[in-house]
Amino acid sequence: DAGVTQSPTHLIKTRGQQVTLRCSPKSGHDTVSWYQQALGQGPQFIFQYYEEEERQRGNFPDRFSGHQFPNYSSELNVNALLLGDSALYLCASTYSGDTQYFGPGTRLTVL
Partner 1 sequence: GESVGLHLPTLSVQEGDNSIINCAYSNSASDYFIWYKQESGKGPQFIIDIRSNMDKRQGQRVTVLLNKTVKHLSLQIAATQPGDSAVYFCAENIEDSSYKLIFGSGTRLLVRP
- Return residues touching partner 1 (CB under 8 A): 4, 6, 31, 33, 35, 39-45, 48, 55-56, 58, 88, 90, 92, 97, 99-105, 107
Backbone torsions φ then ψ of 84, nearest 5 degrees: -70, -10
Task: Give the E-state strand segments of 1-111 in sequence order.
Answer: 5-7, 10-13, 19-24, 31-37, 44-50, 53-57, 64-68, 74-78, 87-94, 101-102, 106-110
